[in-house]
Homo-oligomer: A and B are copies of this chain.
Amino acid sequence: MPRVVVDVMLKPEILDPQGQAVANALPRLGVTDVSSVRIGRRIEIEFSGQPDLDRAREIADKLLANPVIEDYSIRLADPEESTP
């Protein structure tokens, strides 16, 4: 099914307390070789017809990302990429 994936991440200079919390929990699991964890959003948009990247960009701009604190990237889902 034609699908567009929008990845939204906080800009690198914005603090990510949620990712930080995960990173802080890792030593307790015995994991010491992780330097950073960042948590963002992955949005899958399914089109009824042809997937439309420009349309997806418009949706991301207006509804999915906050351009003040977030960056996003848009791509077609790999054909073999299932909903993970």
Inter-chain contacts of A52 with B (CB < 8 A): 33
Q: In the bound complex, how far is the Cα of B64 from the Cα of A39, in angstroms?
A: 10
Q: Encode A34-73 as 1/0 by CB contact (under 8 A) with B.
A: 1111111111111111001001001100111000000111
The complex is assembled from copies of this chain, and their number is 2
Q: Which of B42, B48, B62, B64 is in CB contact (< 8 Å) with A9?
A: B42
Whether the pair B44, A40 counts as a contact (CB closer than 8 A) is yes
Interface size class of chain A, counting residues whose CB lies under 8 Å from the partner chain: 35 or more
Whether the pair B62, A29 counts as a contact (CB closer than 8 A) is yes
Interface of A toward B, CB cutoff 8 Å = 7-9, 12, 19, 22, 25-26, 29, 31, 33-49, 52, 55, 58-59, 62-64, 71-73, 82-84
